[in-house]
Amino acid sequence: MAKTVKKAAKKAAKKAPKKAAKKAPAKKAAKKAAKKAPAKKSARKPNAGFMVALTASPALAEVVGSKPLPRTEIIKKIWDYIKANKLQDSKNKRMINADAKLKTLFAGKEQISMFDLAGVVSKNVK
């Protein structure tokens, strides 16, 4: 009788690790799936300050038009004008060469940096 109990205990010990081994990959897969699932992000709202329609000065209106536009659209239209007239410096792409219309915007300067463009827009809108 003692032999049968020992045999039963050995069988149970052999089965126990198999059951645990079968459950472990399922748990790992569930953890991986939980990690891979991206968290839902809320829709990003535009900053109201950028979306306010601004009135352009007469000098700026020659380039972008007289219709009130948000600051982002004004910058886009200036860049469209610069690229259409090939006013970006060929050697140093960061510099913008002025033509007759842009020279009035740039306060008489022949050339400005693209980083100064936001300042030029700020001075010429209301």
CA 65 to mean position of chain CA atoms: 28
CA gap 27, 84 in Å, rounded? 60
CA gap 54, 76 in Å, rounded? 14
The alpha helices in the chain, defined as continuous H runs, are 2-36, 48-51, 58-64, 71-84, 100-105, 117-123
Q: How many other C-beta atoms are found inside a 10 Å radius of the C-beta of residue 56?
A: 21
Q: What is the reported pTM?
A: 0.62
Q: What is the pLDDT of residues 76-98, one digit of tens each?
A: 999 999 999 999 999 999 999 99
User: Does 99 score more than 70 pLDDT?
Assistant: yes
Going by pLDDT thresholds of 50, 70 and 90, the confidence category of residue 49 is confident
Closest of 62, 48, 74, 82 to residue 126, by C-alpha: 74
Q: Which residue has the higher pLDDT, 4 or 82?
A: 82
pLDDT value, residue 31: 62
Q: What is the pLDDT of residues 18-47, one digit of tens each?
A: 555 555 566 666 666 656 656 667 787 767
pLDDT value, residue 44: 78
Sign of CA dihedral 55, 57, 62, 64: negative
Closest of 84, 82, 85, 50 to residue 69, by C-alpha: 50
